[in-house]
């Protein structure tokens, strides 16, 4: 894929759910704030003409000034809508998962 194609590729996720873990604020060695969130989503969705239950949990991170701001507003059980891009992260054991890098958050 060319650099131009990579830049124009769409990577956008919007999800609404409940915070099921206490938000955790950390700082990188460079001093950048990162707020870690665990969002649980439950809904009924239509697929192939049928209604099905949908359940998902996704790790999200808010970085920069937004992390400091939301760290004082969000608590366990808060209902939020988060949007941003997804990125692959690996833990210390090399296990990969998708993480939402939330660029916009609103409380519902």
Q: So where are the chain's domains? A: 11-107
Give the pLDDT score at 8: 72
Give the DSSP letter of residue 69: H
Architecture of the domain made up of 11-107: Beta Barrel (2.40)
15 neighbors 42 (Cβ within 8 angstroms): no
The one-digit pLDDT tens for each residue of the chain (108 residues) are: 556 666 778 999 999 999 999 999 999 999 999 999 999 999 999 999 999 999 999 999 999 999 999 999 999 999 999 999 999 999 999 999 999 999 999 999
Give the pLDDT score at 54: 96
Q: Any alpha helices (H) in 1-108, and if so which ranges?
A: 3-8, 65-71
How far apart are the C-alpha atoms of 55 and 43, rounded to whole Å?
7
Give the pLDDT score at 67: 97
Indicate the length of the chain as a whole number: 108
Give the pLDDT score at 3: 61
Give the pLDDT score at 5: 61
Look at the pTM and tell me if it is higher than 0.85: yes
């Amino acid at each position: 894929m060319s650099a131009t194609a990579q830049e124009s590729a769409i990577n956008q996720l919007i999800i609404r759910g409940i915070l099921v873990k206490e938000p955790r604020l950390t700082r990188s060695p460079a001093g950048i704030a990162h707020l870690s969130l665990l969002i649980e989503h439950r809904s009924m969705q239509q697929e192939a003409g049928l209604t099905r239950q949908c359940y998902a949990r996704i790790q999200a991170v808010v970085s920069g000034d937004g992390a400091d701001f939301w760290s004082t507003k969000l608590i366990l059980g808060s209902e939020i809508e988060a949007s941003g891009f997804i990125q692959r992260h690996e833990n210390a054991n090399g296990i990969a998962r998708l993480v939402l890098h939330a660029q916009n958050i609103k409380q519902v």
